[in-house]
């Protein structure tokens, strides 16, 4: 694996573009940067993270739980108040919304751990020192 180190973002981006033009496939390239460089993601045509699917599923589960939990408990322990319907959608929407946020947030965090294969001590405590440098690793065929 070839390792290329740059001090500036500009040189790093320039080299990335050069590598792709020379025929290197995006899958062969791995980068390390001190801060997110969105343009590098665009150049490498990286697929969006799967974390969003975790958030979507968590959110849908939260909404379903919010409506079902409130409705089923109200039906199980019938208590009529102020001549309102036993299962009232407007107030349950508030619970459904809150649970959507809670479940979506928690499952998003879980998704982050799963997709980035954390906690992996070896990856966190890497022996490679890159501090504030921009690095490109090119895997050979």
Partner 1 sequence: MGLRLNSRSLLIVSLVVAGLVFLAERLLEPAAGGALTITMALFLGLAEGAIVLMAGAEISDGHWHRQLLQSAGALLYIIPAAMLLFIVNLPQLSIYPWWEHQGVWFNHPFFIARNLIVMGLMFVVARLFVVKALRGDSAKNFWGVALIFLFVWHMTMIGIEWFMSIEKPWFSTLFGAFVMVSGFLAGICTCALIIFSWRSRTDKAAKLIQKSVGGLIFGFATFWAYFYFSQLIVIWYGNIPEETGYLVRRVGAHSPYHVLGWAIFIMIWMFPFLVLLSRKNKTRAWVTSALAIIILTGITTMFWLMLAPVVHVSIPLLAIEIGLMALLTASAVRSRETLLPPLAGPVPAEEHGHGHSPEAAGVH
Is 25 a binding residue for partner 1 by CB under 8 A? The answer is no
The piece of 60-68, 85-93, 115-123, 125-133 that touches partner 1 (CB under 8 A) is 85-93
125 and 61 Cβ atoms separated by less than 8 Å: no
Show contacts with partner 1 in window 31-70 (CB under 8 A).
37-39, 42
Residues binding partner 1: number (CB under 8 A): 18
CA–CA dist 53, 130 (Å, integer): 31
Q: Which is nearer to partner 1, 103 or 134 (CB)?
A: 134
The piece of 70-78, 88-96, 103-111, 114-122 that touches partner 1 (CB under 8 A) is 88-96
* Secondary structure element (H or E) that encloses residue 31, with its range: strand 29-32
CA–CA dist 39, 55 (Å, integer): 25
**Nearest 5°: CA angle at 11, between 128 and 23?**
85
Chain residues binding partner 1 by CB under 8 A are: 8-10, 13-14, 17, 37-39, 42, 82-84, 88, 90-91, 93-94
């Amino acid at each position: 694996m070839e390792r290329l180190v740059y001090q500036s973002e500009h040189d790093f981006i320039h080299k990335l573009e050069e590598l792709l033009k020379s025929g290197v496939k995006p899958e062969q390239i791995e980068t390390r940067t001190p801060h997110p460089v969105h343009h590098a993601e665009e150049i490498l045509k990286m697929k969006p993270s799967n974390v969003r699917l975790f958030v979507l599923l968590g959110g849908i589960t939260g909404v379903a739980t919010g409506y079902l939990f409130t409705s089923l408990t109200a039906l199980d322990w019938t208590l009529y108040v102020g001549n309102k319907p036993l299962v009232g959608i407007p107030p349950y929407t508030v619970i459904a919304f809150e649970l959507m946020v809670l479940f979506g947030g928690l499952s998003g965090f879980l998704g982050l751990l799963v997709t980035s294969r954390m906690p992996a001590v070896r990856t966190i405590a890497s022996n490679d020192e890159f501090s504030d440098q921009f690095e490109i690793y090119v895997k050979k065929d």
